[in-house]
């Protein structure tokens, strides 16, 4: 964790059950401003569920989640207001196929944040230019490659100027040749100081970009630490087993 800044996000003792099965079991995690946290672990370990709980797409069964010092997990909280401060990008691009790239990006700023069309479009065009898609503003999603669609999905999340970005396996649906262009955007966001939580199977990328790496296993946060510590000297046997399986790390 960086410095002594108060956490932007604080997850304390979070449990989530589905049909009597615990998919998150007492998760404790703090994310500080400008920090990049990577969640690693096997499929079904709870990474995506944790992100969905932070974005209030799932209700938690116990524990608390605080954003900017305010509890957002209280059922009385206006979830839509909370989501205005969060950006989330999923494996699937979820772009509206009947809308142009520009309209996809400006929809939330105009309809949710009540930004004027001219201002919203100016900001969107700036983001498209920043990430190499200036010529795609008038295109429809089916005219874009998978990598371009995922970049647009990230830009759409950025257009609302979120406090925190949540990225859920954003490269898993892409051909290997397209992964690098999406990872390049994430790297640039880190350099710009964006606070992010990423669930990823890209171990080399997690090692390169993360400030903190968290290993989830069976809904439990078994271990967290710096990339150097997690990838070269994991302390928990389950972490060592996982890394040995995915990248051949030594125990």
- The pLDDT value recorded for residue 156 is 94
- The pLDDT value recorded for residue 64 is 98
Q: Which is nearest to 186 in space by CA: 214, 228, 213, 157? A: 157
Rounded to a whole number of angstroms, the CA Rg of the chain reads 18
- The pLDDT value recorded for residue 93 is 79
Look up tokens 């309209």; give the residue. 103
Task: Say if pTM beats, i.e. exceeds, 0.85.
Answer: yes
C-alpha 125 chain-centroid distance: 23
- The pLDDT value recorded for residue 181 is 83
- The pLDDT value recorded for residue 251 is 45
C-alpha angle with apex 87: 85 to 88, nearest 5 degrees? Answer: 140
213-238 pLDDT, tens digit per residue, is 999 999 999 999 999 999 999 999 99
- The pLDDT value recorded for residue 248 is 67
117-146 pLDDT, tens digit per residue, is 999 999 999 999 998 999 999 999 999 998
Let me know how long the chain is: 251
In this prediction, the residues of the chain whose per-residue pLDDT falls under 50 are 1-3, 249, 251
């Amino acid at each position: 964790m960086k410095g002594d800044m108060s956490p932007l996000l604080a997850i304390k003792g979070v449990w989530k059950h589905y049909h009597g099965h615990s998919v998150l079991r007492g998760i404790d995690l703090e994310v500080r401003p400008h920090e990049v946290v990577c969640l690693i672990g096997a499929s079904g370990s709870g990474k995506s569920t944790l992100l969905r709980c932070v974005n209030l797409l799932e209700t938690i069964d116990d524990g608390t989640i605080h954003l900017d010092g305010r509890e957002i997990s209280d059922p009385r909280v206006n979830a839509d207001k909370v989501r205005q401060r969060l950006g989330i990008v999923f494996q699937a691009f979820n772009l509206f196929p009947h809308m142009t790239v520009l309209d996809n990006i400006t929809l939330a700023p105009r309809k949710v944040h009540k930004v004027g069309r001219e201002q919203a479009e100016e900001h969107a065009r700036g983001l498209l230019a920043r990430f190499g898609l200036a010529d795609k503003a008038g295109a429809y999603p089916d005219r874009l490659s998978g990598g371009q669609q995922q970049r647009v999905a990230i830009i759409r999340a950025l257009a609302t100027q979120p406090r925190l970005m949540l990225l859920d396996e954003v490269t898993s649906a892409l051909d290997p040749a397209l992964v690098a262009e999406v990872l390049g955007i994430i790297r640039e966001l880190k350099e710009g100081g964006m606070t992010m939580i990423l669930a990823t199977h890209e171990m080399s990328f997690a090692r390169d970009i993360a400030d903190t790496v968290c290993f989830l296993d069976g809904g439990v946060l078994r271990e967290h630490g710096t990339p150097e510590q997690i990838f070269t000297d994991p302390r928990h046997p389950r972490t060592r087993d996982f890394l040995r399986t995915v990248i051949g790390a030594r125990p």
